[in-house]
Structure 1
Amino acid sequence: MSRVDRSEALDLLREAPLLELGRRADGVRRRLHPHGLVTFVVDRNINFTNVCICQCRFCAFYRRPEDPDGYVLTHDQVLAKIEELVACGGTQVLMQGGLHPDLPLEWFEDLFRKIKARFPQVQNHSLSPAEITHLARISGHTVAETLKRLRAAGLDSVPGGGAEVLVDRVRREISPNKIGWRRWMEVMEEAHRQGMPTTATLMFGATETDEDLVDHLLRIRDLQDRTGGFTAFIPWTFQPDRTELGRAEGIRKTGAVRYLRVLALARIVLDNVPNLQASWVTQGDKIAQVALRFGANDMGGTMLEENVVAATGVRFRLDRDRLVTLVRDAGFVPAQRTTTYEILKVFSR
């Protein structure tokens, strides 16, 4: 089968009947994952600070350095949260926060060493390309040196946060102080070069066009062709409530049909990225079930804790038992995985 090009991708997004698009994406999923497993990871998102000098217009979570409700967790507080995760059988911690002007690289190195020494079984899947670039800048190191030091301290893999849409016109509108799309890609390529797996994301439903969405997917595909370092792709929808961007532009929440169209297109275009996550965090459990017939093969994490999306007022919560039931009810076999998609446990139907 020939590869989908930009023109065909645009046509599929705009013109293909929804169910036909879903069937085609489901065919890709079946080819990549013929055994009918749908995976998930037991994890926790730890936002170590909400102080951020980036101040993205789509974010309801950040606080300015001078705001009285800004915070920085202590290392002991982070370790206590991970201890709770491990007690629940968790295997992944995802730490992200704001671009804090006063947290040096050494703060993270010290924390990561403590985590690895105390919880060697936990995958440290932390720090977005924007955060890594910020640490490199304030420490006076290159991105390559910063990644090397973080990896030596215990960073195992890099999440795909901060991708938003990999088109600079869009980024200037929604996150004008954040790194451009080329820098995001450079950080990911360097992580792959150093042997660190990463994920890739897409936040859509703000000011992007159809062309922007397709360009985003093609840029991810191009880098994956070169490195093979992306383990998964996670598209999710902008949540406008309580955000500057939502108020200023009058943006309404993206509906389920648009979400499923973009999800299915991602599965079709990204023929070299093995896993596609359904976003129950933004879409809820029922649409996440439908997403499993639109190309998704993974339900992401149980997220013992999640604060960024919750700051917009969206508070879907799912524990492991509920995830297992949702996957079964959708006609699939649930399986708990690691960050790198090694299967830890298969749950019977």
Structure 2
Amino acid sequence: MSSIDRILQKALDGQRIDLEECITLFESDEIEKMGHTANQIMLKWHPEPITTFVVGRNINYTNICDVYCRFCAFYRPPGSEEGYVLPDEVIFKKIQETIDVGGTEILMQGGTNPNLPFSYYTNLLKEIKKRFDIQMHSFSPAEIMKMKDVSDGLSLDEVIKQLHEAGLDSLPGGGAEILDDRTRRKISRLKGSWRDWMDVMEAAHRHGMHTTATMVIGFGESMEERALHLMRVRDGQDKCVQQGYNTPGFLAFIPWTFQPENTRMKKEKASPEEYLKTLAISRIFLDNIPNFQSSWVTMGPEIGKKTLEFGCNDFGSTMIEENVVSAAGTTHKVNISSILQLIREAGKIPAQRNTRYEIIRTFEQEDKIDKDFVMQN
């Protein structure tokens, strides 16, 4: 038995693979074999032939940012004539439009804007919750750390506590990039260490909020750094379970590839094969995270469909609005009709879920309800 076969069989037997074995997988080109194993592991978590998706909207409330990530084409520096902060009424209108088409999730994200006081965020959340019954799955760890900086001395725990009480329901995993400081210093010197990212997530878990975790490949990171990223996410999830927090912790994992267009980093895009391999290895290694989300926004719908054979049980968000990835020239837009079709073409039953991965409705066959839902969207 080859070393790859041995590692994959170990994972199928329910044993944890270690860091060195993870590196071995990343160095291998036996992608189809890894994809098959990842799919078998996915079926242990999700034996039913259902692939979920969420109807959500990204609201990029500000593009002003003082972190200056080399890989970001969206941000504008403080003082830029192209900088903006959306008026509250515009945000409310976008949320209402989302609810009107059956949406259940708002992912607010923006830059680390030094001009916004902490009260801006808590007041906005309170006003949103007064008006709408919707899941606020919002703000990356980098944004949370900026809120701490402008909060007049509040601790990270107190910042998270006040946000949660104001109406923040869960945290997305943006800004993880690669959870290793060598690469982080190279691509985003001011964004903070990998430990800063994890500290925010652990604080959210302590306060009963679930989160997601992400990973971006293609920055020139080593295979060891990719493996370390997965190890640190797995360790963080273990800690959440061991401490007995009232939350599932990291509810989902979402890898994708760096999009170099219009950025200050001119690198060759990671290939679809490299993405699929990373996805499969992530599902194999992260044995304590139940859901894996396809990244069709960056990879396109056909690769998105392929992910359902490589460990994904979820097709992600309909992304009614998305400006950060599209600013880098990636504009794969998929409407709900296309999502239903792609999931069916992959031999799965599509189902709409909420942010907690609870199924709201299934679309077992094309019927009047299915067509009416698509027409609304």
Shift of 1:348: 0.6
1:136-176 superposed Cα distances (whole Å, 9 cap, x missing partner): 11112111000111111100000001100000000000110
Cα separation, 1, equivalents of 2:24 and 2:286: 16
Residue number in structure 2 paired with 1:285: 301
The amino acid of 2:193's aligned partner reads: G
1:50-69 alignment, distance < 5 Å: 50-69=63-82
Structure 2 counterparts to residues 35-184 of structure 1, below 5 A: 35-120=48-133, 122-139=134-151, 140-184=153-197
Cα distance in structure 1, aligned partners of 2:119 and 2:25: 47
Percent of aligned pairs with the same amino acid: 49
Q: Which amino acid aligns with 2:349?
A: V
Given residue 314 of structure 1, which amino acid in structure 2 is its aligned partner? T
Partner of 1:236: 256
Please name the residue that 2:9 is paired with.
none
Q: Which runs of 5+ in 1 are unaligned?
A: none
CA distance in 2 between partners of 1:319 and 1:23 (Å): 28
Structure 1 distance, partners of 2:113, 2:20, is 41
1:222 aligns with one of 231, 235, 242: 235
After superposition, the C-alpha distances for 1:303-326 in whole angstroms (9 at most, x for unaligned) are: 000000000111011111211111
Q: Distance in 1 between matches of 2:184 and 2:317?
A: 27
Q: What letter is aligned with 1:205?
A: G
Following the alignment from structure 2 to structure 1, what is the Cα–Cα distance between the partners of residues 180 and 25?
Answer: 20
Aligned to 2:244: none
Look up the SS of the partner of 1:40 in the other structure.
strand
Q: Hey, what's the Cα distance between the residues in 1 that align with 2:28 and 2:165?
A: 48
1:57 to partner: Cα distance: 0.4
Q: CA deviation at 1:225?
A: 0.9
d(CA) in 2 for partners of 1:264, 1:64: 37
| Deviations 1:260-312 (CA, angstroms, capped at 9, x unpaired) | 00000000001100000110000000001111101011111000000000001
Letter in 2 for 1:23: H
Q: What is the correspondence of 1:7-22 to structure 2 with a 5 Å cutoff?
A: 7-15=20-28, 17-22=30-35
Which residue, 212, 216, 221 being the options, matches 1:203? Answer: 216
Q: Which string of whole-angstrom CA distances, capped at 9 and with x for unpartnered residues, describes residues 166-190 of structure 1?
A: 0000000011010110111111011
One-letter amino acid of the structure 1 residue matched with residue 177 of structure 2: E
Moved over 6 A (4+): none
Match of 2:278 among 241, 252, 262: 262
Structure showing greater Rg: 2
3-state SS in 2 of match to 1:292 = helix
**Residue deviations 1:76-102, cap 9 Å, x none?**
110010011011110000001001111
Q: Which residue, 26, 33, 37 being the options, matches 1:24?
A: 37
Shift of 1:16: 5.1
Which residue in 2 is equivalent to 1:300?
Answer: 316
The match for 2:363 is 347
Q: Please give the alpha-carbon distance, in whole angstroms, between the structure 1 residues aligned to 2:275 and 2:260.
A: 15
After TM superposition, the score normalised by the length of structure 2 is 0.90
Deviates more, 1:3-12 or 1:298-307: 3-12
Letter in 2 for 1:278: S
The one-letter code matched in structure 2 to 1:298 is D
Corresponding residue SS for 2:234: helix
Unaligned runs of 5+ in 2: 1-12, 241-247, 366-377
How many residues are matched?
344
Q: C-alpha displacement at 1:10, in angstroms? A: 1.2
Distance 1:177 1:18 in 2: 35
The partner residue of 1:271 within 271, 287, 297 is 287
Distance 2:219 2:297 in 1: 17
CA distance in structure 1 between the aligned counterparts of 2:29 and 2:39, rounded to whole angstroms:
14
User: 2:345 maps to which residue?
Assistant: 329
